[in-house]
């Protein structure tokens, strides 16, 4: 067991969530299937994106899908709450993992600078002057799934080192 009652398999699945789709257009509603898995109590945590906090040219379709995911989480919190099931989201900012490291390497090469310069420029826009790492996003998911968050439902927790506030 790890992280207060969350076994390694469940933790691995939680960490894999950002790499899977919660739904796609035309997909059947899965709410009852989720309920069957959770029985009478439990927690659902959806991984969203900081894009729900700002608008950027060219990001419209992505923001639209993430806004829908946020609305779905809030609606499911209302639907499942009477059965003791909590539904929340996390909205990560830039995540200092393999994809972002590769992208910063690309930008650095294109600009003829070191990767650290790109990182420092991006991190300067955050209150903590750094970017969150994948384990920090997973920690937020584990927290929201844990009994420590037993009175929290329908919420979206930003995990972005203070890049955006709401």
* Residues with catalytic function: 62
Contacts with 117 (C-beta within 8 Å, 6 or more apart), sequence order: 108
Pairing mode of beta strands 42-47, 156-159? unpaired
For the chain, how many residues are written? Answer: 166
CA–CA gap between residue 81 and residue 40 (Å, rounded): 10
The edge-to-edge listing of strands for the beta sheet with 156-159 is 42-47, 85-92, 156-159
């Amino acid at each position: 067991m790890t992280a207060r009652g969350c076994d390694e398999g469940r933790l691995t699945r939680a960490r894999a969530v950002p790499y899977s789709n919660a739904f796609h257009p035309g997909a059947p509603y899965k709410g009852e299937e989720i309920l069957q898995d959770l029985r009478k109590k439990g927690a659902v945590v959806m991984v969203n994106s900081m894009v729900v906090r700002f608008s950027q040219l060219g990001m419209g379709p992505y923001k639209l899908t993430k806004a829908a995911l946020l609305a779905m989480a809030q609606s499911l919190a209302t639907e499942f709450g009477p059965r003791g099931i909590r539904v929340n989201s996390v909205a990560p900012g830039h995540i200092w993992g393999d994809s972002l490291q590769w992208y910063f390497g690309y930008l650095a090469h294109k600009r003829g600078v070191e990767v650290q310069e790109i990182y420092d420029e991006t991190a300067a826009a955050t209150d903590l002057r750094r970017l969150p790492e994948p384990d920090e996003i997973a920690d937020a998911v584990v927290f929201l799934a844990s009994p420590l968050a037993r009175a929290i439902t329908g919420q979206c927790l930003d995990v972005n080192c203070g890049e955006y506030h709401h």
